[in-house]
Amino acid sequence: MSDKYLNAQSTTSSTLQLPANGGQEGKRKRTGAFRSLFRAMAPSQTEANRSPWPFILTIVVWVGLAYAGYAFAVHTLDKQQQYVNERFEQVQEENQKQMVALGEQLTQVQDEMKTVQDGLSNLEEDLQLTGETIGGTNKTKEALQDRIDQLNKQLVDLKASLKKLEDAARAW
């Protein structure tokens, strides 16, 4: 038997004993990636005859990875910028459509207000012309007063709607 191996002994200890002559001869010592890279860049005196190709290959791989990362980042940013531009144009188109719709609603409300004002002025003229004849009948006065109140209420509602539309148009 060689001395690398221990004979099995019957002991009460639960641990195994290592060989006494150094233990790990023949195994390579593990080093980290940076230490091996450093060793490739600055060879020691005993390694002076090493080929430069591993170092060159390492540099080429790192440069390739860096360029690929840069190209991927540029491509991704271009795609995102294109998407943002498309969304911006869509929002502008939607805003333009809403502005046109608000403009149309504003003109409709203004036309309705003008119609209500014309109706009120006509009613006031009629009241002035028939002032003496209406003065004697209470039912007619009450009916006219109700109609005036309704038209005034409608005028207030239309003014409020017009104000809301103008505020919305200014907001855009």
The pLDDT of residue 120 is above 60: yes
Q: pLDDT tens across 71-95, in order?
A: 999 999 999 999 999 999 999 999 9
3-state secondary structure of 108: helix
Specify the pLDDT at position 28.
60
Separation of alpha carbons 93 and 86, rounded Å: 11
Q: pLDDT tens across 136-170, in order?
A: 567 777 888 888 888 888 888 888 888 888 887 77
Single-letter amino acid code for the residue at 135? G
The DSSP element (H or E) to which 138 belongs, if any, is helix 138-171
Poorest-pLDDT segment among 52-61, 96-105, 115-124: 115-124
Nearest-10 Cα torsion for 100, 101, 103, 107: 140
Separation of alpha carbons 148 and 154, rounded Å: 10
Separation of alpha carbons 166 and 106, rounded Å: 7
Separation of alpha carbons 147 and 110, rounded Å: 21
